[in-house]
Structure 1
C-alpha cells in the first residue's frame, strides 16, 4: 500500500512542484490531482495538459524528480445536473479527466454519480431518501431509468475505450451514496465503474465501514480509497439525528464533522480498515482527503500521514506461506 494526498484542499496556493517537494519530504508517495468539478484544477491545467505533450512531459518529469505517482485524477461534479449548462460543464470535466488519465497512464478517474432533478422540468437536484408519498418513488424511478443509467452507460463505455476506471465516491446529495446504490450503478453499466471508497460519508449514515469494504471488495468494485474520518457527536445525534444541513463550518452545533484520520475513529479501527482492504484484494493507495476544521492544514495532514505510516502494510507478501 502507498500513502497519497488529494492536493486541492490543503494546498490551494502552492504550485505542483512545491506540493510534491513538501509531500515527498513527508514520505508521501502519491498525489491525487483535481481537474475540474467542484474542486477546480489547482495543480494541473487539464486542457493544457491534454493538448500539449510538452506539458505532460513537464508533469511526468516533476513526478519522477520527487519519486511520486498520480494515484487518480479527480473531477467531482454533477454531470446529470438538471440545468443543462451545468451538466455539460461537469460532463466535459469528467471526459477531459478520462482522456488525460489515459495519456498520463493513470488508471482511475474519481468523481460523483451526480444527482438529477425529480422531473424533466426540474431546476435543482433532488436527492430522494424516502419512498412516501408515492410521487417520490415515481421520481426516483424516473431518475434512474431516464438519467442515471443512460448517462453512466455512455460514460463507462467511453472510459473503457480509454482503458480507465471510474471511482464513484458514495456521497450525500448524490444518487450513489451507499454500497447498494454503488452496486446498482455498476451492475447497470460495466466493470469500469466502482467505488472511490471514502468512509467519512458512510460513518454518519450508520454504515459499518468494514462490512461495506467486504461487500464491494468481493465484487472487485473498489477502484481507489480516500483516507478521511468523521466524528459523530452523540448529544446532537440523539437530539436531532444525523441529517444535518447546517454549514460544515458550524462545527460546535453539527451532529457530525469531518476529521483527520484517527480523530473520528481510533488507530485500531484504521488498522482494521487497512487489513480488510488487503483481505478483499485492495492493496493500492490510501489517499488522504484533509477537511478537518479543528486542525491546521499542516498539522492535520501530518497527523494523518503519521497514523497511516504506522497502520499501512507497505510490503507485498512474496512466498512467505511455507510454514502453512
Structure 2
C-alpha cells in the first residue's frame, strides 16, 4: 500500500510543483485531477489536459513522476454521468473516454468518476437510465485495459436540499454498479455520516477496490438532534450545508483509520490510499492546504508498512 493525495485540493498549482512538494513531504503517489480547464464545478482542477493527450504528453508525465519517485495512482474526473441535460451528459461521457485514453497511454490502471443522478427522476428510473447509458463507458475502458472506479460520495450538494446526487453511496448500490462492471474508489468519510459502519461495509468488497481515498468526517450529534439526518432546512444556504457534520483531513474527524487500514491490509489491498483534502479549516490558500496534507500524512503514514 502507498500513501498519496488527490491533486484537486491545489487547483492553482501546476502538476510539476505539486509533484515536487509531495515527494518532499513523504507522499508516494498522486491521484491527478483532470477536469476540463472550463467546467461545471467551482473547485475543479485541471492538472493534465486529457482532451489533448498524446504519446509526447504521456512521456513527459512519466518523466515527471519518475523524477520524483512517485506513482500516478489514478486519473480523477468526478462528474455527473446522468446529468439531466443530455448535451452535458454526452460531454461528460466524452471526457471520461478521454481520461481512459490518457490512462491507457500512461499505463494507469484506473479512472475515477461518479454515477451521478438525474434529479427529476426517481432512484429506480435513474438506475434504469444508468443501465442503458453507462455500460458503453465500461466497455470502452475495458477494451483499453482500464477500470472505471466510482467514489461512494453522496454528492449531496448537487441537490438544492442536500439529497443524494450520486447513486453509489451504499453497499446496496455498490453491488448494483459492480454488476455493470464498475469498481469502487472507497472513501469511509461518506459512510460515517450516513450511519454505515465503514469497516463493516469495506470487508466484503476489497477485491472490487483497486484504489481508495482517505477523507475524514467530523460529526456533531447535538446539531443532528436539531436538524435531523437530512440537515438544515430553514437555514440552509446551499446543498452542501448540512449543519451537523463536515469533512476533515484524516486525524481530525471520527473515522477510525487504524481499523480501516488494518482491514485493507487483511483483505489484500495493495493499491494507493489517496488523501482527498476537503477540510474547510485547512483551506483557503496553498499554505493552509499543504498544512492539512501534512496533518493527513502524520496520521496515516505510521499505519502503512513501507
Is TM-score (shorter-chain normalized) higher than 0.5? yes
Report if the CA contact (8 A) 2:28-2:70 is conserved: yes
Report if the CA contact (8 A) 2:29-2:72 is conserved: yes
Report if the CA contact (8 A) 1:118-1:140 is conserved: no
Matches within 5 A, 1:285-300: 285-295=272-282, 296-300=288-292
Query: Match for residue 48 of structure 2?
Result: 44
Report if the CA contact (8 A) 1:7-1:31 is conserved: yes
- Inter-CA distance 66–273: structure 2 relative to 1 (3 Å threshold): same
Aligned residues: 283
Take 1:56 and 1:35, find their aligned partners in 2: how far apart are those partners? 14
- Inter-CA distance 88–249: structure 2 relative to 1 (3 Å threshold): closer
- Inter-CA distance 143–243: structure 2 relative to 1 (3 Å threshold): same
1:264 counterpart = 2:264: no
1:309 counterpart = 2:301: yes
1:143 deviation in Å? 2.0
Larger Rg: 1
Which sections of structure 2, spanning at least 5 residues, go unmatched?
Answer: 155-164, 283-287
Q: Deviations over 1:85-127 (max 9, x none)?
A: 21112111111111111110000111111112445xxxxxxxx
Q: Deviations over 1:125-176 (max 9, x none)?
A: xxxxxxxxxxxxxx3322222x111222221111110111111111221122
Report if the CA contact (8 A) 1:107-1:163 is conserved: yes
Report if the CA contact (8 A) 2:103-2:146 is conserved: yes
Which secondary structure state, in structure 2, belongs to the residue aligned with residue 76 of structure 1? coil
Normalising by structure 2, we get a TM-score of 0.87
Report if the CA contact (8 A) 2:51-2:95 is conserved: no
Take 1:152 and 1:186, find their aligned partners in 2: how far apart are those partners? 12
Matches within 5 A, 1:270-285: 270-285=257-272
Matches within 5 A, 1:21-60: 21-36=20-35, 38=41, 40-49=44-53, 52-60=54-62
Residue 136 of structure 2 is aligned with which of 139, 154, 157? 154
Q: CA RMSD in A?
A: 1.9
1:142 counterpart = 2:144: no
1:177 counterpart = 2:179: no
1:48 deviation in Å? 2.3
1:247 deviation in Å? 5.4
1:75 deviation in Å? 1.1
Matches within 5 A, 1:17-166: 17-36=16-35, 38=41, 40-49=44-53, 52-119=54-121, 139-145=122-128, 147-166=129-148
Normalising by structure 1, we get a TM-score of 0.82
Which secondary structure state, in structure 2, belongs to the residue aligned with residue 257 of structure 1? strand
Report if the CA contact (8 A) 1:166-1:223 is conserved: no
1:258 deviation in Å? 0.2
